[in-house]
């Protein structure tokens, strides 16, 4: 999966929401850009929540792109922690 600034992604926990809450933007995020950790040079994803206080977050790219833990969350079908919405259509 290739991510670009402006892409909207969903966190796998969105699948666990009640149907009524799935009509909201809960667990939807917009990719703001990419950065490198200043000391380790690790690739990072900068993203913003599209709900609540619209908080800004940074997460290591490796963690952002990892597969969903289906042992811990067996009911979740989403393959990766975050997936682009247009990839779901």
CATH, residue 13? 2.30.30
Residue 71, domain member (yes or no): yes
Residue 1, domain member (yes or no): no
- The pLDDT tens digits of the residues spanning 9-63 come to 999 999 999 999 999 999 999 999 999 999 999 999 999 999 999 999 999 999 9
Residue 50, domain member (yes or no): yes
Q: What is the pTM of this model?
A: 0.89
Residue 29, domain member (yes or no): yes
Confidence class of residue 89 from pLDDT cuts 50, 70 and 90?
A: very low
Supply 63's token pair: 């963690």
Residue 69, domain member (yes or no): yes
Q: Which domain holds residue 45?
A: 8-88
Q: How many domains does the chain have?
A: 1
54 closest CA partner among 81, 33, 25, 80: 25
Residue 87 has pLDDT above 90, yes or no: no
Confidence class of residue 64 from pLDDT cuts 50, 70 and 90?
A: very high
């Amino acid at each position: 999966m290739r991510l670009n600034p402006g892409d909207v992604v969903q966190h796998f926990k969105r699948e666990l929401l009640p149907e009524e809450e799935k009509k909201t933007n809960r667990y939807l995020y917009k990719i703001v850009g990419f950065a490198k950790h200043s000391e380790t040079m690790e690739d990072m994803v900068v993203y913003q929540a599209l709900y609540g206080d619209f908080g800004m977050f940074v997460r290591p790219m490796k963690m952002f792109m990892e597969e969903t833990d289906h042992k811990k969350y067996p009911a979740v079908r989403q393959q990766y922690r975050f997936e682009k919405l247009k990839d779901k259509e």
